[in-house]
Amino acid sequence: MGGLLTFGETMGLVAADGIGPLGHAKSFSFGIGGAESNVAIGVARLGGEATWLGRVGPDATGALIASRVAASGVRTLAVTDESFTGLMVRHRRSGEFAQVDYHRSGSAGSRLSPADIPAHEVTNAAILHVTGITPALSESARAAVFQSVETARAAGVTVSVDVNYRAKLWSRFDAAPVLRDLVSRADVVFASPEEAALFASGDTPEALAELGPAEVIVKDGGRGCVALIEGKRFQQPALPVTVVDPVGAGDAFVAGYLADRLAGASPEDRLVTAIATGAFAVTVPGDCEGAPTRDELAFLKGDDVRR
């Protein structure tokens, strides 16, 4: 069996440097960001095999996405679409609050369809990872998610779902039944307490496990995580780090867990790695730039100078 397969929209990321209102920003950086490609990059950086698939536009941003994801060690299947590559604009209004605006309606990524996901890519994977973002983009993207999940289930491929609810993409009312259906088809589920409460009977791992998944991990930021894995409960505290940029921490967490799962690690070790990769990610600006290697995780153990 192969490694991780994931797909979804990756966008260009315009980020204001510094902290304060967007109108007062003096400089900007340009990068890429997307939950699924972030996870693929994180897995690859930790030594796992990862494939990302998505649609990009015939523009410089689309070319940048394809080249940068591939340069990170991810097998990249970028389908060029006639529409534009989506963009997101992010600024830190204060040290505690970040705002992201999306420009993605009708984008190349939103035009993903079931025909874009070859069945053999799914059946040859060890883990299919999807998020709750893609079903919110369009009817065709939603169909791609559910078709690939059913293909994976029929082939005995592990299905991983990160709920990743985005209020700017759809309402709680519209999202809840779709996310509940998606989670009920998964083997591994990641959610925040708030996301779990959207469609489950509560915000605990047990509430999500009632829907069927054997592995449920509730990630709770600075409070660490709680998990229910094959009927056994686990709890892992967060690591104390200096937060530079909180964006991408959840994706890094997922990447750490799935990379260790691919490597055959125990549930305890998967959660330790997930916490460490999530903590490392918040110490570096950007969505995926801070994805650590296994050697770099040593920095979190007090070895802050490598000679």
> What is residue 297's predicted lDDT score, i.e. its pLDDT?
83
Percentage with pLDDT > 70 across the chain: 95
| Pair 180, 211: CB distance under 8 Å | yes
Query: Tens digit of pLDDT for each residue in 95-136?
Result: 667 888 999 999 999 999 999 999 999 999 999 999 999 999
Is 17 a catalytic site residue? no
> What is residue 95's predicted lDDT score, i.e. its pLDDT?
67
- Look at residue 273 and give its three-state secondary structure: helix
Query: Tens digit of pLDDT for each residue in 18-75?
Result: 888 888 888 999 999 999 999 999 999 999 999 999 999 999 999 999 999 999 999 9
Query: Tens digit of pLDDT for each residue in 141-160?
Result: 999 999 999 999 999 999 99
Query: Tens digit of pLDDT for each residue in 68-87?
Result: 999 999 999 999 999 999 99
d(CA 196, CA 198): 5
Query: Tens digit of pLDDT for each residue in 238-250?
Result: 888 777 666 778 9
> What is residue 299's predicted lDDT score, i.e. its pLDDT?
75
pLDDT-derived band at 286, boundaries 50, 70, 90: low
Query: Tens digit of pLDDT for each residue in 184-212?
Result: 999 999 999 999 999 999 999 999 999 99
Torsion (CA) 241, 247, 249, 252 in degrees, nearest 10: -130
Mean of the pLDDT values across residues 85-94?
90
Query: Tens digit of pLDDT for each residue in 213-230?
Result: 999 999 998 889 999 999
> What is residue 301's predicted lDDT score, i.e. its pLDDT?
59
Instruction: For the chain, give the mean pLDDT.
Output: 92
Does the pLDDT value for residue 305 go beyond 70?
no
What is the arrangement of strands in the sheet containing 50-56, beginning at the earlier edge strand?
Answer: 75-80, 50-56, 4-7, 127-131, 158-162, 188-191, 215-219, 225-229, 232-236
Distances 296 to 1, 40, 46, 266, 291 between C-alpha atoms, Å: 28, 18, 10, 21, 9
- Residue 223 backbone class (left: φ over 0; alpha: ψ -120 to 50; beta: rest): alpha
Q: Which domains does the chain have, with CATH numbers?
A: 4-9+35-59+73-82+114-291 (3.40.1190.20)
The one catalytic residue in 81, 162, 251, 260 is 251
Q: Give me 52's structure tokens.
A: 């990302």
Whose structure tokens read 């770099």? 296
Q: Let me know how many helices (H) and strands (E) the chain has, helices first.
A: 9, 13
d(CA 38, CA 211): 27
**DSSP code per residue over 185-205:** T-SEEEE-HHHHHHHSSSSSH
| Pair 30, 14: CB distance under 8 Å | yes
Exposure string (b/e) for 221-250, b if CB count within 10 Å is 16 or more?
Answer: beebbbbbbeeeebebebbebeeebbbbbb
> What is residue 302's predicted lDDT score, i.e. its pLDDT?
54
Mean of the pLDDT values across residues 277-287?
79
**DSSP code per residue over 137-204:** T-HHHHHHHHHHHHHHHHHT-EEEEE----TTTS-HHHHHHHHHHHHHT-SEEEE-HHHHHHHSSSSS
Does the pLDDT value for residue 303 go beyond 70?
no
